[in-house]
Chains A and B, each alone.
Chain A
Amino acid sequence: MNTNGRRKIKFLSRKEGRKLLDKQARRYLRMSGEEFVRKWKAKEFDDPDRPEVMQVAFLLPFGG
Chain B
Amino acid sequence: MTRDVLVVSGSDINKVESLALNRGSPSRLKNKRLYMTVKMQYRVTKAEGVKGPWKVSTAAYFYALHDAEQRELIAFHWHPETEGQKDPHLHFYGASNVAAFLEKVHLPTGRISLEQFLRFLIVELKVKPLRNDWEPVLRRTEGPYVQHRSWH
Interface set of A (CB-CB < 8 Å, partner B):
3, 7-12, 17, 20, 23-24, 27, 43, 48-49, 51, 54-55, 57-62
Contact = CB atoms under 8 A, between A and B. Distances in A.
B96 interface: no
A57 B37 CA distance: 13
B41 A61 contact: yes
A62 B18 CA distance: 7
B39 A12 contact: no
B8 interface: yes
B91 A20 contact: no
Interface in B46-94: 60, 62, 64, 72, 75, 77, 79, 82-85, 91, 93
B84 A58 contact: no
Contacts of A57: 79, 82
A27 B83 CA distance: 23
Q: What size tier do the contact residues of chain B reach?
A: 20 to 34
A28 to B, nearest CB: 9
B44 interface: no
B7 interface: yes
A27 B84 contact: no
Given A17-B9, A20-B7, 11 more contacts: A10-B7, A11-B7, A20-B24, A23-B24, A24-B23, A27-B25, A49-B84, A54-B79, A59-B20, A61-B15, A61-B16
Nearest to A12: B7
A61 B10 contact: yes
Given A24-B24, A43-B83, A61-B18, A55 B37 contact: yes
